[in-house]
Structure 1
Amino acid sequence: MNTAANSVFQSMRRRLALWYAIVTAILLIVFATGFYLYVQTTLIDRIDDTIDHVAEVIERSLIRSNLIDLESDFSHNFSANAQAIDADHIDIDWFAPSGEILWTTNSNVESLQPREKGILQPVYRTVHLAEIEPLRQMTEPIVINGKLLGYLRIRHPWFEVTKPIKQLFLDLAIGTTLMVFVVLLCGWWLAGIAMEPVRESYQRLKQFTADASHELRNPIAVIQTNVQVALADPDPAIPRSQLETIERITRRLGRLIEDLLFLARHDGGSNNHRQDICNLSQILSEVMEEQAAIAQQKQIDLELMLPSSDLSVVGDRDRLGRLFTNLVSNAIAYTPTGGKVQVATQPLTSQNQVQIQVHDTGIGIPETELSQIFERFYRYQSSKNSKPSSKSKSANPATSGSGLGLAIAQAIAESHQGKIKADSKVGQGTTFTVSLPMSCIHF
């Protein structure tokens, strides 16, 4: 398999593996995010449950005290448990209905916020105090027998949430990254297995095309030779027009077989071309001379613009000639009468390349169709009529071209380590740009 075809399969394999890894990564991220939020919510609920339990114990204590000497009762009720409360890192503050602090287990007390006065339900929030770790805080109004006795505030350290959550985030990030990497490797391996039948089928198809084209060359040549002999010495019993039709069809079929064989060899990597120093200026001049008669019939102006010094490229002279013949003949075929076809060359010294542009004043191609014009047998059909009226891969629809002209041009350019692209505007014309490596030798 040649380098171009192998590159296509490798690109497909990479895309399959990448998509497999992306889908798996998305699923893993969704799962990890859900698990992270679940654990975070569970830890917060645990702290809130602890705060609720402490609040419930305090409320029961107040009820048992019969509402006598609240400050004394608080000291009495919590002095025995102060050590346990401190060990649990839980702080308790008791505020008067006016918001004044009455009792606390913490020397660094934050006053009751104005928005916390007059609340009817417990309010939970996370607070960040200067030089102190974040705290989970609950402020609750204490109402007994319809009378507001004050506000109870209970604080619990937030590190019991932040510490395990940070560790969980790190573990999930590392685990997900490693899993995506493993999935990418597995996807690459599975994509290779999946692509193998396609690769084998592609190889068999190329071999079949090459064999069929090769086997058809001889019978077509025999038919054409016999028809030409019959035309040279015509038989009155056989109409000459029929012989001419057969000769024209066999000639067209012969060109099609040659084109298919060329593309099959290109796909199979067996189309090694000669590596000679070619005078590009001379090749273009010869191509323009060959196409001059056809252009003259359609009253199309041919113009060749060459630099002051001849340019040279390394490659196969015949194939380069065929490349530009296909482009120029294609431009002539789809340029209306009285139009113009211009071929211009420009050396790109900084890139060590030479650029050749074939521009016509034809009807052009819609931008949506440009990506398909180099596909084999693709022919753009104009919406104005049923006949092909725009660029196609054939040289001329009037001669029922095979639709392989531009595909062959692209194959020749790529085999010379070059590139070809097309730019077009409907109603203004089309420009084909060929870039080829430039030889250091100048003629």
Structure 2
Amino acid sequence: MILSKLFMGLGIGLTKTFKNKSNLTSNLLKPWRSPNILSHPLFRTTSLRLLLSYLLAMIVVMGMSSMGVYHFFAYSLYQQLDHQLLTLADAAAHNLLAIQADRTAVHRKIPRILDHDGDLDIPWQDLRLYGQSVEWFNVKKQLLGKAGKKFPPIPLINSFHSWQQNDIRTLTIPVYSSAKNRQILGYVRVSASTLEVENELKRLLIGLGFGGILGMVLIAGTAWWLTSKALQPIEQSFQKLQQFTADASHELRSPLTAIKTTVEVMQSHRERHPSDLKKIAIIAGATRQMTHLVEDLLLLARSDITAVNLPKTAIPIPIDEILFDLIDSLDPQAQAKKIIIEANVNDEIWIKGDAHQIQRLFGNLLENALQYTPEYGLIKVEIIKSDNFVVISIQDTGIGIANEHLPLIFNRFWRADQARSHRQGGSGLGLAIVQAITHTHGGEISVTSKIGVGSCFRVKLPIFE
């Protein structure tokens, strides 16, 4: 008898559903036919993260590449300069004996070959035009002669390696009598200005800078295009999931209503089937749970589309009165668990929104606090006004949430194992609904928690003025 009535109600509900299916589906899917699904905050955030990650990676790669190119060219230019110095030093080494002979002639009062300014009167004088210089030293490191313009202001260092001070690069080589005897006759030190090399490196840096800017512009455009292409399959799947959730929610409401109505009729006529009262109660409880789940799914499906818009039923509502009403309605549950609820909500503050959704938002938070707070615990509800916003905090002394789970608590159907063991029968959509309603009303929600200490949820909403 019971089953026949249940199937009769289910048949009536399905018949009505299929008659109105086309209208329901067409009205429901109108918002989802928008081609720009990237307007959804979820995809905007994901796209931005992917784009920034790609740009950051490319900036690092381009920066390292530019540094490599710069150091390679700097090394090449200085190597070329060192090669020129070595060639100059080899050529100047052949004049060491002539300069020594000139010095000997001076001591013997023989006419010397040095000119009036102390330089050699030989073709080395042209070195001044190229910023180079040559110095000849005897074996005792005494200066014999010089040619050129710029000279290093330090004593002779008989090292074959080139070194640099300020803008002068210097190379010193020893001069031997012959390849066989290897007797040192003296030293030749050659120097050259590095200004030309430094100017070349500066021009290279400017070129790399302009090239990097142009490259980043091109990379940014390419990154945006690749990001949109990469998200297209995810967007399509998300769109189909939204459609399915909304369709399923709408189509389930009618049969659930038929079942609920049938069960209520059977419960109101208990004398006809007293032996089945327990079964009817089980069916009624399951029906209420499924109805609540369907309504939750439908609310979330709608919030996915209108996440940034206030509901059409938005009106100015006093947030303090809503909190007082909720606390009064949940007071019996709190007394049953010997939990104290402290409320500091004396300020009269108005916000604009849907009263039913705001009541559901804070109702879910308060119910969670009661569920997860052990006996003799404490729940604090407080309103804090800050500029054009109001912050409502709900703090408990419950079981707490691990740090690694905090980023996941607003995900749909997610619950930590520890929390699940304390609350059975929930759908796992409560906090997801809280977040969706908060975002719909232009607000923000945050949470801090510690295992064994408790949790604190803070909801920030704009004030209606």
Q: What range describes the TM-score normalised by the shorter chain of this pair? A: 0.7 to 0.9
TM-score (norm 1): 0.85
1:6 aligns with 2:44: no
Alpha carbons of 1:276 and 1:62: their partners in 2 closer, same or farther (altered >3 Å)?
A: closer
Paired residues of 2:125 and 2:147 also in contact (CA < 8 A): no
Q: Deviations over 1:24-55 (max 9, x none)?
A: 23222232222222222222222222222222
What is the distance in 2 between the residues matched to 1:267 and 1:87? 76
Paired residues of 1:100 and 1:112 also in contact (CA < 8 A): no
Q: Could you tell me which of 174, 189, 197 is aligned with 2:225?
A: 189
1:372 aligns with 2:408: yes
Paired residues of 1:99 and 1:112 also in contact (CA < 8 A): no
Which segments of 5 or more consecutive residues in structure 2 lack a partner in the other structure?
A: 1-30, 106-111
1:428 aligns with 2:453: yes
Alpha carbons of 1:94 and 1:223: their partners in 2 closer, same or farther (altered >3 Å)?
A: same
Q: Which residue of 2 aligns with 1:326?
A: 364
SS at match of 2:215: helix
Q: Which residue of 2 aligns with 1:296?
A: 335
SS at match of 1:272: coil
Q: Deviations over 1:136-185 (max 9, x none)?
A: 21112223234332221111222331121211121112111221122112
1:346-425 alignment, distance < 5 Å:
346-348=384-386, 351-382=387-418, 388-389=421-422, 397-398=423-424, 400-425=425-450
Q: Which residue of 2 aligns with 1:203?
A: 239
1:143-222 alignment, distance < 5 Å:
143-144=176-177, 145-222=181-258
What is the distance in 2 between the residues matched to 1:107 and 1:217? 97
SS at match of 2:191: strand
What is the distance in 2 between the residues matched to 1:181 and 1:81? 54
Q: Could you tell me which of 315, 318, 337 is aligned with 1:279?
A: 318
Q: Which residue of 2 aligns with 1:55?
A: 89
Aligned length: 416
What is the distance in 1 between the residues matched to 2:225 and 2:453? 49
What is the distance in 2 between the residues matched to 1:204 and 1:36? 52
1:262 aligns with 2:287: no
1:101 aligns with 2:140: no
RMSD: 2.9
Judge which range, 278-287 or 25-34, deviates more: 25-34
SS at match of 1:379: coil
Paired residues of 1:5 and 1:267 also in contact (CA < 8 A): no
Alpha carbons of 1:273 and 1:45: their partners in 2 closer, same or farther (altered >3 Å)?
A: same
Alpha carbons of 1:276 and 1:177: their partners in 2 closer, same or farther (altered >3 Å)?
A: same
Judge which range, 425-434 or 172-181, deviates more: 425-434
The amino acid across from 1:405 in the alignment is G
The amino acid across from 2:78 in the alignment is I
What is the distance in 2 between the residues matched to 1:103 and 1:413? 87
Alpha carbons of 1:31 and 1:306: their partners in 2 closer, same or farther (altered >3 Å)?
A: closer
Q: What is the CA distance between 1:111 and its match in structure 2?
A: 6.1
Q: Deviations over 1:161-219 (max 9, x none)?
A: 11212111211121112211221122112222332332232122112111110100111
Identity %: 30
Q: Which residue of 2 aligns with 1:42?
A: 76
TM-score (norm 2): 0.81
Alpha carbons of 1:180 and 1:89: their partners in 2 closer, same or farther (altered >3 Å)?
A: same
Alpha carbons of 1:101 and 1:374: their partners in 2 closer, same or farther (altered >3 Å)?
A: same
Q: Could you tell me which of 371, 376, 380 is aligned with 1:342?
A: 380
What is the distance in 2 between the residues matched to 1:237 and 1:352? 59
What is the distance in 1 between the residues matched to 2:455 and 2:282? 33
What is the distance in 1 between the residues matched to 2:212 and 2:295? 55
SS at match of 2:390: strand
Q: Which residue of 1 aligns with 2:284?
A: 247
What is the distance in 1 between the residues matched to 2:104 and 2:58? 61
What is the distance in 2 between the residues matched to 1:437 and 1:409? 16
Paired residues of 1:213 and 1:258 also in contact (CA < 8 A): yes
Alpha carbons of 1:185 and 1:292: their partners in 2 closer, same or farther (altered >3 Å)?
A: same
Q: Per residue, is there more helix in 1 or in 2?
A: 2
SS at match of 1:263: helix
1:6-25 alignment, distance < 5 Å:
6-25=40-59
Alpha carbons of 1:186 and 1:78: their partners in 2 closer, same or farther (altered >3 Å)?
A: same
The amino acid across from 1:98 in the alignment is K
Judge which range, 314-323 or 254-263, deviates more: 314-323
Q: What is the CA distance between 1:66 and its match in structure 2?
A: 12
Paired residues of 1:96 and 1:102 also in contact (CA < 8 A): yes
Q: What is the CA distance between 1:266 and its match in structure 2?
A: 0.5
Q: What is the CA distance between 1:411 and its match in structure 2?
A: 1.4
Q: What is the CA distance between 1:107 and its match in structure 2?
A: 6.7
Which segments of 5 or more consecutive residues in structure 1 lack a partner in the other structure?
A: 129-133, 390-396
Q: What is the CA distance between 1:341 and its match in structure 2?
A: 2.5
What is the distance in 2 between the residues matched to 1:190 and 1:89? 53
SS at match of 1:123: coil
